[in-house]
Structure 1
Amino acid sequence: GVDPDGQAFAQFISNFLSQYGRWNSPKYLIGESYGTTRNAVLANILEQQDNIDLNGVVMMSSILNFDTSIDQPNLNPGINLPYALALPTYAAVAWYHKALANPPATLHPWLDQVQTWAMGPYLRALNGGSALPQAQEQRIAAQMAQYTGLSKSYILKA
């Protein structure tokens, strides 16, 4: 977990500073992706527990809200927003790779239409879950197939 990671890194940094006499040197943390989450915890541990002041913290590609990540749906079951947010990207990839049956000539304003649909009817359908009427499920799957290039039957199996 992130807390044990932070403790391990803090111990390493403290030992390094002591072993090499670097207590007066500038100290910066840099983290990317998960490292940004770790840095938030690590900076707090260094300051609060080890009295190590930092000169700066750099966070690249931060995830600010884990409820918007599609990487681990088991962490937030029932949170459907990530799927609606990801759909326009899937549509743009399908357009770029010419995987659409009826592709628009240009990506924009079509992608704006996809985004509106994803955050509206698609998200409402996801939130409806298994209570979604079958006719609506069929319509949503058909539209999603048009936007992604995936077959309707494949989408309905998901």
Structure 2
Amino acid sequence: MNGRQSFPQIVRRSIAALLSLLLAAFFAFVGYMKATAPVSELAKYHAWTVHLPEWMGRTVGWSEIACAILLLVSAIRPRWGRIGALALLINQLFAAAVHFSQGEIAALPQNGVIIALCTAILILLAPSRAPARSAKTFRVMICNCRARRCDPLRVSWC
């Protein structure tokens, strides 16, 4: 589109930016808490990382901060936002599994909402697909290639 975004793409990116901002703020806070707060404080707020070795729980906290940064950068680099959203989606799948295994069923709806938001960001930041080429276009390109009038950018179609 010659550097211009279509209206639906702008709307998709805007919604993704808003969701990314909200998730980034949330994960920057909870990640900081998991990375720095005493384990007794984390247990009081039912953090799922208290059921892991302390070093692993701290690592999860720092990774959540890193993912929050990736989500913030998604407005400029959508690929990085997709990486952050995918990592947080996997993080929340593990969190839900730990909550379920420990009988903390009340925490599962929060995991479900975060998983849904991460999925929405992944969909909204998905790269746009090129329009499909018709069979007629394909035949014309083959004929042009046989007549030695190939477009050098489309030689792979021949």
TM-score w.r.t. length of structure 2: 0.28
Higher helix share: 2
Question: Per chain length, whose mean CA-contact separation is higher, i.e. which structure has more relative contact order (CA < 8 Å, sep 6+)?
Answer: 2
TM-score of the superposed pair, with normalisation by structure 1:
0.28
